[in-house]
Every structure is written in structure tokens, then in C-alpha cells.
Amino acid sequence: MISEDSSDLEIIEIALDQTLADAKSRKMRRASKRKSSNPRYINRSLKESVHHRSNGQCEYISPLNSKRCQARRHLQIDHIKPLALGGKSDKSNLRHLCFAHNQRSAIKLLGVEKMEQFTVAPQ
């Protein structure tokens, strides 16, 4: 608090403290409003929404027998229409796939040559 007895140094210190507090407050407000510029970024709420819809199970359905994959481990969030082909990271374009079906889907859409760098070679 500035009073008539405050020295110039005290007044400057109080003013600097207030300026720093204002700057920190502005910086925190900007950070909380900022969205990720990474199109691959899927926020926690969206991940939870996909998990809720899939019931924690791979969403791949076999075109041969219309049965759904039973995998519940190593689930990955897949872009149905890949980002590389203009797909978006919104709920309608996301699904849960197990690792095997995610790789299969990517190879089918993007080709073996493109996906070779991401696939694991059999030992």
C-alpha cells in the first residue's frame, strides 16, 4: 500500500509488483483460451467421448461376418478419414481400434509403402 511515508523506492517496487502480477494474469488467460494448433491433437474430453461410445472395445466390424472385434487392450484412436486426406479430429471422424486393426486400416487407406515406416516387422 502506498502512503505519504512511502519512499520512492517502495513506490517503484509496489508498481513493479503490480505490473508483474497483471502480466502474469494476462498470460494465464491467453494460455487457457489457446487451442492446440496441432490437427492431430485430441483433447481429453474427446478421448473420453470416443471411449464411452466404444465401451472400451475395438470398433472394427468385419465385412465378412459383420462381427465386431473383441479387443479391449492397446486401443488407439483412429481417424476414419485420415488427416492426410483432409479428415478432422472430431467425434464423428474418430473411432477406437486395436493396434492390429488400426495398422490394417492405415495400410488399406494409405498403402503399404507409406505405412512401412510405421509398421513393426515380424521377428
Query: Nearest-CA neighbor of 120 among 68, 109, 9, 106?
Result: 106
The stretch near Zn ion (CB under 5 A) out of 38-46, 68-76, 78-86, 107-115 is 68-76
Task: Check binding of 78 to Zn ion (CB under 5 A).
Answer: no
Q: What does each C-alpha distance from 81 to 11, 70, 75 come to in angstroms? A: 60, 23, 18
Query: Rounded to whole angstroms, how far apart are CA atoms 2 and 7?
Result: 9
| C-beta closer to Zn ion: residue 32 or 66 | 66
Task: Check binding of 54 to Zn ion (CB under 5 A).
Answer: no
**Residue among 46, 50, 69, 110 that touches Zn ion (CB under 5 A):** 69
Task: Check binding of 46 to Zn ion (CB under 5 A).
Answer: no
| C-beta closer to Zn ion: residue 26 or 68 | 68
| C-beta closer to Zn ion: residue 42 or 75 | 75
Residues of this chain that bind Zn ion (CB under 5 A): 58, 60, 69, 71, 98, 101
